[in-house]
Structure 1
């Protein structure tokens, strides 16, 4: 596990990024890392997080951030890495090996560089240290005032390291190479006299004496006019020596580098990010004694900045290759890539071979090139390579040289040390590039729009540079306006044009290099959804067998037009838009779309039939037999996991079918994902497909599909607490059910209506629907649905305090689910049974049952119900008096539920945690949880949980001494709970002394 503070605050677990949560949470982690292995008082965290005025709930919020960070770290196996975030009295401590934090690595490397007597070694170490920085320390997590206060010493250490590195270059005679870097540093730190002194010396040694004196005059006037002081004596002395052309300022000729080609292009201005790639490339290309010639290739899609990365890495490596650096653009994406024989002729002339002595054949030129590079340390940078055949003759034979290649192709046939697969910029680096291009002030005032631009550019550096340059050169064009223009997919590529730079032209080079078969594949794959396609779906889109589709798409991966991710292929967003442009006039488009929709319909129906609430509808899908190995077995093994991956494609197909009047197809596709959306609590998606399906069913007058759509719409409305709409949908569905002629759909609808009535506190009506459901089931052999109904009826009995009948029905449900091997519903039914045992006083039994419930639900992969089980465990632990265990369960429940869309369950868990915190005496923490929970429950139209929340509010008010407010809260709670006949009304009566 590694931590980064020198730039955006990040963490990695075995090379994979860890999601650290919201900005303030990342800031809290940064504070703990800056003082790792020391106790950080909670008050200090509060003062730094809210430098102006902290809210009353600040300590509770800090505790919540710490708790969530602890969960994040534990999920990343922090214990294995020796990392632990612990509470300790008045504060917190992060135990961690200091070497895992980049700040400490940086300081260690700087100390090591200072102790080195060799300038080459010092430069190498300082390059490694500075490469750890990816922007200002603590970037994007702290206000600038706080960031400066906390990181001033780090900024100073970074600047000192830069100066020491430049001093070493100057001692080695590389004055010309550091002028550009010094000019940038002087602009960033205009009062830093050491930088001005270095710039003056570098300019003087480059025979630019007047420029050196101008640099001095600029500083002199700046200091005089703005601060009223003169430059330091050492700087004034340097000016005098330059005026006199003091020979002692020049290096001894023996100290100068040996002559050799210096062909690397200048560094790209406004370069941001890529520090890890640069560090990796430099390490790979550094020659090792007795090793083999290092060859490294950078590959990636168009517009990623492969050349800029190669140049920057090459410039970092100049000290390792004092005999020269060769650079050539091989024009591999153009219609006529450079002939390697012609390239060798140029290289030989650059290495001192007279033109008349350059051999005529390729073989002879290769031999002479390797002879001229033998015994010398030369870096060869081959930009924009076309093929392995083009590159091989250009590789020296001397292991002390190195070769760095860039190519859109992966060059898998080339022997190399490493293929560096360049990726897009993350959002932090993308924003940093925009900020550098257009200015901090202009970007800060349009933060949301800037983030949207970064997303719409897909992190592609070329696109970001075009946008940034356009904004910088057109002051009248606002960030908000450009973001709005980029939102339109139809014209986005038109906006990404600036001067001679154009995203579309970059893509066109790659497209034109394909043959007709691969161009067709590229166009048809534009039909893929945003989340990509699995191999079987690629074959369906292309209308070919698996082997052919695999060959075609892998070839497109090799030229970086398509991305391969585990189990899928996908486009970069901008390349997808380009492919869609090419597809617009393709005659095969409609046939390809039909093939892929039919495939999803067939496989989606198969997956749905295996889900708990699936398989309710009746239709025969079009025949489809995938020849991709393992597809059907994958669905049978894990239908929900398969739908996790594929539902976005099905949703897109539903939207398309609905928009194009394909009504029956809309209903069928919607049915394949309805049960899955219920399983994953994706109520917004269920509501959307239900609406589309209902409109389609009414258009072609289908009672069956109308009833099915009304059931789905009612279920989505019920689970989002929109009970008015749920009632409308369910009643309309019940009215049309006789025409649908489907007894199982009648069962499902009756059961859903009963649950809706129960949630609204209409418990007599709920009981009637449950009884009616059981009556219909008497004539059906559907043990699973009988168990579902018994469980829901048992919950109603529990609410009313009918403990004996509740236990009977819940035990019957558990027994059936155990026979069926249904782990999820075993766990869900045991949770209800555990609550019953707690209410009848069997606390030990309750704990045992609830622990098993939690374990079953966790194993079933159901975080929503696992979170509910943890909430119930917290309540039982509290009843036992184990408050620490109760708090841990409630906090874990919050963490789990925040990964779901169950806002109601989250609110209920906050109330339970508030009760525990009141018992522990943490009234501030209790207030923070209570406020959030009450706010959600007061609008949920769930009278029972609203009443329970008011009981907790009364306890909090009583603990703070507000007895009047407590009695008012309990009065309201009593009215709500007694109004529905809830057993908790007795508890309130006791609190009120009635």
Structure 2
């Protein structure tokens, strides 16, 4: 039976209305429904039914009669029970059968959801209201007295929905509803403030300011107060036309539109028509053609025009397809996921999982993805969302015939009229010398890149006429004529720009060609050039002015520089091999110095021991910033460090190869870039072997083992760790030995080899007793505590975990203290201390949520659901479990999600819904049976046995429990005792 109190008080059985009797009887029911599953004193029912204090002597009898009649109504249903409880009554039912509890549940889920999902959930919640709560069953005074909290909750949900819509830039959709709500509640300042902001965003600023003045008058006349400071500040910001008041709904990564863009109108119109046609697949469009035709410029301009169709954001990435090292799709997906709100700790390890999470994050969103400079079809397939509301715009030198495209635009050179207009826009004085400008256009072959270089030269040399430049180009006719034939035509244009540079600029142009394709910061250019930072910045800006360098942004530095592909190729032709070697010698020293300092700041960095060369650059602020923002610096520079590792390995500079690899290993682990970690570890291992260095060999083997373990290649992982441990005594690095042993222990624990894991953890703690490494000791304590918990050794587990938590708190590490605290909460529940368990798990969940660790927050929610299930609080268990699955689904934690599905199966079985329960259980089983985790495989078989037993399949249940017994007994899990009791019973 279902009930509604958010409006008229009603009941429904199988969708049909149920007669609830007279008004007073319906009112008594409403009070009981609002206090479902709680004790309601008879005196309170009397007080509310006769609010004037004139209850008749027969009041208690009247209430009893109404209760009896309600029991008769409920006799039609077996899921509602109205019982006498002391001097009062209790209505027992699933609270989600009552609309008010569904309303609160939806609001709670909305608070934990992303904005789009929050809006959907709140709209679903508000749709439950069919009028004023408890209407038609009580006087207005009594109704307001009882239902005031509900009305406040409704207004709160309405405001939350308005707030989410405003964050998503959807003010036009809600403006009328928002205005009505503000009119109905003129003194509710935050509600009126939302109306003011919405009006301003809709270019109705005079109305917004007038609304503020009305609020000011209302508050002054009725309450004698001024608007709140935040509301007053909103008025000031509107008067100042503060741009930050505009909505931000997602990543906005498009580069600036190209200045003086000319032509391509037909292509822009074509692109506009190809996107948003309502097809069931994403619009994937490619722009292809030979170098220098302005493919990126066209894509960027089209993307800016299309941006309004994709309000949830625009992603942009240069895939480096024209260079020797195209970007790894896994790395690109990692960046996209971070831009879409995924924390580093939640990044999946494998490419396949990243693809799934990326498509999940793009679902129900309108995103435009611009993939610039693509290498081939294989690189692109992983980066295309599955949502038809998304669009993908690709540029490439290749035609990409193997890709499923909606259309392909193959660019040709600019028409003469457009090329002349482009040149005139770049250098206005060229229009006055029409014939000379036509000659320049002819020699440039209609290539926008060549024309822009020429226009920049004319703009930067006011003393030189257009005719003079045309004559110079003609003198180099033998090379410039080749512009019609391909790359060599562009080279001639580059030569013209190069010869116009000052000697210092020419040297910088040549030497910077040695820099990696990923771009570089000014400090790195200063090191490469051997100049001071001020001189280098002047040289860089000079090259930018003549369009020989381009600018971008990084995580660490506001400006990063890079060459256009073709200009870089031309510059490298002028770079001698000795200059290239000298540049990388200087850069390598800098990366060793700064990389070591950055690595030392990472959560589990600072393992390696070597003395780097001094930094050949007077930049103390740089060093301090690198230490303060180490992850951001490594995010920008790790591609260059990886390139330096490759160069050092190729040059057989073994010591440098090992040291450079060490500076970037912890960062690659932090960002889950396991393929990159594997590569540098392989190079480092080869170099260390040639040097016969026990230290560097053991370090490389540790990194190889770690990468293999996280890629679930346990055979390679075990071999690498074993080989490393064999030579670690000669490495004379106790901490490296501890870290390796810990990693081996975790690997064994993952595979159910607990005795071996325990031996490794014990060895670690014994070694750490003599080392001043509190973070690693806390980590070892936590791992050992988890293992003791698995075995049911509660006292030992609590001892280890408590010490780990205390250490993490002393270090200020809130996240790992919460991670360890979750384990302690599980132990409290296993010991039967539910109050302590709930308190500990709730605190851990909140800390993990605040730290942005969604994956582990989902695990804490799952534990809270389990605790509620054990206590018989099935609705609470269901709510927590649903939150857990939603959170874990977002992070693509396949193992954690499977465990939550098993738990949902148990909860639904307890709620009397075995069909839904079995569906959840089967989803969990499908993963856990092949996961290689014997403990959770055994636990899932335990649950399967309960389901089969409930279905009357005794033999099937026993077979499942025997499988569980086999798994859990073999590894020594404490849950084996439960299975044994079932088998013996």
Q: Name the TM tier (shorter chain).
A: 0.5 to 0.7
Offset of residue 821 of structure 1: 1.9
Matched, 1:663 2:654: yes
SS of 1:563 mapped into structure 2: strand
Matched, 1:971 2:962: yes
Given that residues 514 and 572 in structure 2 are in contact (C-alpha distance below 8 angstroms), is that contact kept between their aligned partners in structure 1?
no
Alpha carbons of structure 1 residues 867 and 712: separation in structure 2 relative to 1, 3 Å: farther
Partner of 2:722 in structure 1? 731
Distance in 2, matches of 1:600 and 1:795, equals 39
Partner of 1:547 in structure 2? 534
CA deviations 1:797-849 (Å, max 9, x no partner) are: 10001112111111111112222222232122112112212222333332332
Distance in 2, matches of 1:342 and 1:496, equals 22
CA RMSD of aligned residues (A): 5.2
Offset of residue 949 of structure 1: 3.6
Q: Which runs of structure 2 are paired with 1:170-185 in the superposition (5 Å)?
A: none
SS of 1:134 mapped into structure 2: helix
Distance in 2, matches of 1:896 and 1:868, equals 13
Given that residues 854 and 887 in structure 2 are in contact (C-alpha distance below 8 angstroms), is that contact kept between their aligned partners in structure 1?
no
Q: Which runs of structure 2 are paired with 1:545-694 in the superposition (5 Å)?
A: 545-560=532-547, 561-566=549-554, 567=557, 568-571=559-562, 574-575=565-566, 578=569, 581-582=572-573, 585=576, 587-624=578-615, 626-628=617-619, 630-694=621-685
Given that residues 717 and 723 in structure 1 are in contact (C-alpha distance below 8 angstroms), is that contact kept between their aligned partners in structure 2?
yes
Alpha carbons of structure 1 residues 703 and 634: separation in structure 2 relative to 1, 3 Å: same
Offset of residue 620 of structure 1: 0.4
Distance in 1, matches of 2:673 and 2:437, equals 63
Partner of 2:879 in structure 1? 885
Partner of 1:524 in structure 2? 511
Given that residues 134 and 273 in structure 1 are in contact (C-alpha distance below 8 angstroms), is that contact kept between their aligned partners in structure 2?
no
Partner of 1:534 in structure 2? 521
SS of 2:666 mapped into structure 1: helix
Offset of residue 956 of structure 1: 6.2
Given that residues 528 and 570 in structure 1 are in contact (C-alpha distance below 8 angstroms), is that contact kept between their aligned partners in structure 2?
no
Partner of 1:854 in structure 2? 845
Matched, 1:945 2:914: no
Distance in 2, matches of 1:607 and 1:344, equals 58
Partner of 2:891 in structure 1? 897
Distance in 2, matches of 1:73 and 1:580, equals 53
Alpha carbons of structure 1 residues 690 and 99: separation in structure 2 relative to 1, 3 Å: closer
Matched, 1:142 2:130: no
Distance in 2, matches of 1:549 and 1:762, equals 57
Partner of 1:744 in structure 2? 735
How many residue pairs get matched? Answer: 602
Offset of residue 975 of structure 1: 1.2
Matched, 1:827 2:965: no
Given that residues 333 and 384 in structure 1 are in contact (C-alpha distance below 8 angstroms), is that contact kept between their aligned partners in structure 2?
no
Distance in 1, matches of 2:751 and 2:565, equals 48
Q: Which runs of structure 2 are paired with 1:206-221 in the superposition (5 Å)?
A: none
CA deviations 1:706-760 (Å, max 9, x no partner) are: 1222222223333333333333222222221221122222222233333333222
Distance in 2, matches of 1:577 and 1:731, equals 45
CA deviations 1:161-211 (Å, max 9, x no partner) are: xxxxxxxxxxxxxxxxxxxxxxxxxxxxxxxxxxxxxxxxxxxxxxxxxxx
Distance in 2, matches of 1:518 and 1:500, equals 23
Distance in 2, matches of 1:680 and 1:647, equals 11
Residue range with higher mean Cα deviation, 829-838 or 749-758? 749-758
SS of 2:273 mapped into structure 1: coil
Distance in 1, matches of 2:124 and 2:488, equals 52
Distance in 2, matches of 1:878 and 1:637, equals 45
Given that residues 778 and 808 in structure 2 are in contact (C-alpha distance below 8 angstroms), is that contact kept between their aligned partners in structure 1?
yes
Alpha carbons of structure 1 residues 748 and 572: separation in structure 2 relative to 1, 3 Å: same
Distance in 2, matches of 1:510 and 1:954, equals 78
Given that residues 522 and 579 in structure 1 are in contact (C-alpha distance below 8 angstroms), is that contact kept between their aligned partners in structure 2?
no
Offset of residue 578 of structure 1: 2.8
Given that residues 867 and 877 in structure 2 are in contact (C-alpha distance below 8 angstroms), is that contact kept between their aligned partners in structure 1?
no
Distance in 2, matches of 1:520 and 1:793, equals 59
Alpha carbons of structure 1 residues 131 and 339: separation in structure 2 relative to 1, 3 Å: closer
SS of 1:142 mapped into structure 2: coil
Given that residues 828 and 837 in structure 2 are in contact (C-alpha distance below 8 angstroms), is that contact kept between their aligned partners in structure 1?
yes
TM-score with structure 1 length normalisation?
0.52
Alpha carbons of structure 1 residues 962 and 644: separation in structure 2 relative to 1, 3 Å: farther
SS of 2:815 mapped into structure 1: helix
Offset of residue 576 of structure 1: 6.9
Alpha carbons of structure 1 residues 599 and 103: separation in structure 2 relative to 1, 3 Å: same
Alpha carbons of structure 1 residues 942 and 346: separation in structure 2 relative to 1, 3 Å: closer
Matched, 1:329 2:397: no
Alpha carbons of structure 1 residues 758 and 337: separation in structure 2 relative to 1, 3 Å: same
Offset of residue 550 of structure 1: 1.7
Alpha carbons of structure 1 residues 865 and 631: separation in structure 2 relative to 1, 3 Å: farther
Given that residues 761 and 942 in structure 1 are in contact (C-alpha distance below 8 angstroms), is that contact kept between their aligned partners in structure 2?
yes
Partner of 2:205 in structure 1? none
Given that residues 890 and 913 in structure 1 are in contact (C-alpha distance below 8 angstroms), is that contact kept between their aligned partners in structure 2?
no
Given that residues 823 and 856 in structure 1 are in contact (C-alpha distance below 8 angstroms), is that contact kept between their aligned partners in structure 2?
yes
Alpha carbons of structure 1 residues 698 and 586: separation in structure 2 relative to 1, 3 Å: closer
TM-score with structure 2 length normalisation?
0.52
Distance in 1, matches of 2:925 and 2:936, equals 9
Alpha carbons of structure 1 residues 507 and 993: separation in structure 2 relative to 1, 3 Å: farther
Distance in 2, matches of 1:502 and 1:876, equals 73
Alpha carbons of structure 1 residues 953 and 631: separation in structure 2 relative to 1, 3 Å: farther
Offset of residue 945 of structure 1: 2.3
SS of 1:652 mapped into structure 2: helix
Given that residues 786 and 797 in structure 2 are in contact (C-alpha distance below 8 angstroms), is that contact kept between their aligned partners in structure 1?
yes
Alpha carbons of structure 1 residues 132 and 389: separation in structure 2 relative to 1, 3 Å: closer
Alpha carbons of structure 1 residues 273 and 738: separation in structure 2 relative to 1, 3 Å: closer
SS of 1:622 mapped into structure 2: coil
Offset of residue 931 of structure 1: 6.0
Offset of residue 73 of structure 1: 11
Alpha carbons of structure 1 residues 718 and 342: separation in structure 2 relative to 1, 3 Å: closer
Matched, 1:759 2:851: no
Unaligned runs of 5+ in 1: 1-66, 106-126, 148-267, 282-299, 306-324, 348-381, 394-494
Offset of residue 697 of structure 1: 0.8
Alpha carbons of structure 1 residues 83 and 502: separation in structure 2 relative to 1, 3 Å: farther
Distance in 2, matches of 1:583 and 1:85, equals 64
Given that residues 858 and 883 in structure 2 are in contact (C-alpha distance below 8 angstroms), is that contact kept between their aligned partners in structure 1?
no
SS of 1:617 mapped into structure 2: coil
Alpha carbons of structure 1 residues 520 and 852: separation in structure 2 relative to 1, 3 Å: farther
Distance in 2, matches of 1:626 and 1:383, equals 32
Distance in 1, matches of 2:917 and 2:966, equals 24
Alpha carbons of structure 1 residues 644 and 132: separation in structure 2 relative to 1, 3 Å: same
Distance in 1, matches of 2:932 and 2:837, equals 29
Distance in 2, matches of 1:798 and 1:752, equals 19
Offset of residue 591 of structure 1: 1.0
